[in-house]
Structure 1
């Protein structure tokens, strides 16, 4: 981008940019699929999903007027968001339910912005969200992960040309849409083996008296629905 004045920055943020050609769009979809499906790569890229997951918990906790005590991100790609407030009721239910659906809903919002041509605006929105998460992170690994992710997004949005920005933005959105599905499937696999007795789904089961499998189904419907709608917006059908 490399604008030379505040007005140019504003024009980039609020203006629209042309979408990449169909080859780039399909190529970024394939790369995102590899980043999710290739186990070796997934062990690294899953950190981004954890940021979105814990950020979802944190955002909803604040919206529900709970007191947020911080976010921790770990090297095994697990995370923890701690908040205090009423230990039951709609606010606690929504806070617990927000994590697994957050990556998919962020991807869906990103797909909508790309379909509207707001590529640069999307990248800067991502940087702003990551800064908000960074403020609440309470461990060194978490700070490093968020800084690296945010730094990459900022570098592309500030120094990259329109073609690079477009390809990177589509790659990120495809990744969030696709990556939102896999953790839900992994969650149910662990639950079936008795390895996730304190998962979000099981916490929701205790809060609502609805079975954990019901909540896994909710997470899966949201993630798959977001993927289908988001793909409809991203793919050039004509």
Structure 2
């Protein structure tokens, strides 16, 4: 009997994760997009919310490093919302280029993937996938602030994913995806301003310049193009245009 109930419970969970959920009203989707935009543009909120972008940025480096056969040493997240991902392998070549390029493009690409899932009404699947990715990243975090940031972020997603209120689930999921899509543009602009003021010759764009010979400004343009393209395409999916 206990085994039967356990299998039944697992079945329920599986159907809940893989099933579809109704979209929130269109006006609410637009309002959540506006709220995400405020979080990006209003500096007091951005200082805190930017930690989520850093998680996605460093997570992008880490995932691509592993996919390219590099050995991941660890990830650190800092209180100034910077971060660093250390991996070992060939110092040059396609794998290294992809690993470095993954950072600034990751938030936007993750947001685009989330928008695709929401367009298909897989709200719970998006939330559970986010929890899984955060749990895997947590295993690679090597400092206390990083652990705290990932745990708090994951806790918020877990709370949203476990609630039986579909409106809360949908609202959280849409806000999260809107934020990643819109926030993906701002770090590229920030890096461009920083490079024009101080040089910042250790940025990802400058590392890519040294690896490929392609100008750092060109890489910034690529980052921006990916971010804007994902924001436009993802926004259209979220609004069902």
Q: Which category describes the TM-score, using the shorter chain as reference length?
A: over 0.9
Could you say what secondary structure the match of 2:139 adopts?
helix
How many residues are paired up?
234
Moved over 2 A (4+): none
Q: Where does structure 1 lack aligned partners over 5 or more consecutive residues?
A: none
Correspondence for 1:83 = 87
Correspondence for 1:212 = 216
Verify: 1:50 aligned to 2:29, yes or no. no
Task: Report the Cα distance in structure 1 between the residues aligned to 2:52 and 2:117, rounded to whole angstroms.
Answer: 20
Verify: 1:104 aligned to 2:108, yes or no. yes
TM-score calculated relative to the size of structure 1? 0.97
Aligned residues of 2:128 and 2:161 also touching (Cα < 8 A): yes
Verify: 1:115 aligned to 2:119, yes or no. yes
The superposition leaves residues 106-149 of structure 1 with CA deviations (integer Å, 9 ceiling, x where unpaired) of 00000000000100000000000000110000000000000000
Verify: 1:37 aligned to 2:41, yes or no. yes
Q: Where does structure 2 lack aligned partners over 5 or more consecutive residues?
A: 1-7
The superposition leaves residues 203-229 of structure 1 with CA deviations (integer Å, 9 ceiling, x where unpaired) of 000000111000000000000000010
Task: Report the Cα distance in structure 1 between the residues aligned to 2:197 and 2:99, rounded to whole angstroms.
Answer: 25
Distance apart, 1:6 and its partner CA: 1.6
Task: Report the Cα distance in structure 1 between the residues aligned to 2:163 and 2:91, rounded to whole angstroms.
Answer: 46
TM-score calculated relative to the size of structure 2? 0.95
Aligned residues of 2:163 and 2:169 also touching (Cα < 8 A): no
Correspondence for 1:231 = 235
Verify: 1:198 aligned to 2:202, yes or no. yes
Task: Report the Cα distance in structure 2 between the residues aligned to 1:69 and 1:163, rounded to whole angstroms.
Answer: 40
Aligned residues of 2:205 and 2:220 also touching (Cα < 8 A): yes
